Structures are given as structure tokens and as C-alpha cells.
Chains A and B, each alone.
Chain A
Amino acid sequence: DAGVIQSPRHEVTEMGQEVTLRCKPISGHDYLFWYRQTMMRGLELLIYFNNNVPIDDSGMPEDRFSAKMPNASFSTLKIQPSEPRDSAVYFCASSLLGNTEAFFGQGTRLTVV
């Protein structure tokens, strides 16, 4: 398996623009997690899905953030409108079961100018 695949690897956008980050989990994994990493706050859980259903979105910072998982092999994280403070590395991870190890994608480095 190719592992968790994220795209794009880097994204530079202007404040106010819409940004969409994409993730393909490991085939057969039932759980998908979105994390955001910054120097100040570390690795924060934003939202996670089980069998394509959002289970806990309490980590989503604002209504500007939304996530979907239309099928078992694809998820998106959207920020609309984007702001400079959204600049961070966004990771997608997947796991076979809940309560087990998660495997991370390469991340998307987002810069909002």
C-alpha cells in the first residue's frame, strides 16, 4: 500500500481565498483523522471520521473550517475564507481501528499571505 496520500504538498494562497486539502487514507482503514501542527500549539486534532461519518469535530477552530468524507478513499478539509493565522502544516492520518496506532500522510504546508 502507498500509505496515506495528501495533496497538495504545499499551498500558498492569499487571505480570503478558499483552500481545499485532500487526503486518501490507507485502504481498509476505518478511521480518518485531520490534524494541524504549529510551533505554538503542537499537533492538534481537528476532526475524525469513522466509516465516512464525522464523529468528533470539536477541534475544528471556527466555522470557516469544514471537512467531508464522501467515500472510504477520499476526504477533504476546506477553509473558507482563509486567514494568515491558518498557516500551518495539516496532516491526515488513518487507522484500522479506533484506539490503535495511526499512520500519517506527508502533510500539506499551508501558507496564507
Chain B
Amino acid sequence: QKEVEQNSGPLSVPEGAIASLNCTYSDRGSQSFFWYRQYSGKSPELIMSIYSNGDKEDGRFTAQLNKASQYVSLLIRDSQPSDSATYLCAVVPGTALIFGKGTTLSVSS
């Protein structure tokens, strides 16, 4: 069974701090990895994609992938109250995205 695991949180950080979100997956053949952000009552929106081992940076966001450890992470630098949302990790073991249950992030001002 293909699984994607995330800590549900909530993860609470003060404004300006670094938020670290983690995700593990079970299917070793997975090739594509994504992070989505979902505000309450809204649909998931893509914020990062990563396909190869290492780090990928985009503004305040850095995605990290370690296929040997089957581990994906998302770092948010200089966290803002507007970053408060649920972050969903998605993995593609075949064709379709399989999602974790998400980690709720709360950034306090």
C-alpha cells in the first residue's frame, strides 16, 4: 500500500522563524514530489516541486529530497502569519499524486 506520512501538528512558530515540515513515503519507486498549501476552506495550491535528490530553493521556500531515506522536507524561512495553513506533501508512485494528511502550521505575530 502506497503511503505518505506527515506529522499532523499543529506546528507553531513565531514570526520570522524557520518552519520545518517533514514527510516520508513508502514507495521507493516514486519519482516526483510536491508540496501544496491549503488554507482553511480553500483548495490545495502548488508551492514547490522536486524531482532529484538535494535542495531546491524558491524564494523563502526550500524543498529537500532524500530518496535513499524516502524523505521529503519543506523549509519556510522568515515565516509570516500569512503562511499559517495546512501543508500537504504529495508523492507520485506511478501517475497520480498521493497525498499525506497534511501538517498544520501556525505562525504567530
A and B part of one assembly: yes
Q: Which residues of A contact B (CB under 8 A)?
A: 31, 33, 35, 41-45, 48, 50, 55-56, 91, 93, 98-107
**B-side contacts of A33, CB under 8 Å:** 96-97
Q: By CB atoms of chain B within 10 A, which of A41, A55, A102 has the most?
A: A102
Interface of B is mostly: loop
Check A98–B43 contact: CB distance below 8 A. no
Check B98–A91 contact: CB distance below 8 A. no
Check B96–A45 contact: CB distance below 8 A. yes
CA separation between A15 and B32, bound complex, in Å? 39
Check A43–B44 contact: CB distance below 8 A. yes
Given A104-B43, A104-B45, A106-B43, are A99 and B92 also a contact pair (CB < 8 Å)? Answer: yes
CA separation between A42 and B101, bound complex, in Å? 5
**B-side contacts of A48, CB under 8 Å:** 95-96
Known: A31-B95, A42-B101, A99-B31; 16 extra A-B contacts, CB below 8 A, are A33-B96, A35-B99, A42-B102, A45-B96, A45-B97, A45-B98, A48-B95, A91-B44, A98-B96, A99-B32, A99-B92, A100-B32, A101-B97, A102-B97, A104-B43, A104-B45
> Can you pick out 16 interface pairs between chain A and chain B where the beta carbons lie within 8 Å of each other?
A33-B97, A35-B99, A41-B101, A42-B99, A42-B101, A43-B102, A45-B97, A45-B99, A48-B95, A56-B94, A91-B44, A99-B95, A101-B34, A101-B49, A102-B97, A104-B43
Check B43–A107 contact: CB distance below 8 A. yes
For B102, give the chain A residue with the smallest CB separation.
A42
CA separation between A42 and B43, bound complex, in Å? 13
Size of the B side of the interface (Cβ < 8 Å), in residues, is 20
For B101, give the chain A residue with the smallest CB separation.
A42
For B97, give the chain A residue with the smallest CB separation.
A102
Check A42–B34 contact: CB distance below 8 A. no
CA separation between A106 and B32, bound complex, in Å? 24
**B-side contacts of A45, CB under 8 Å:** 96-99
**A-side contacts of B94, CB under 8 Å:** 56, 98-99
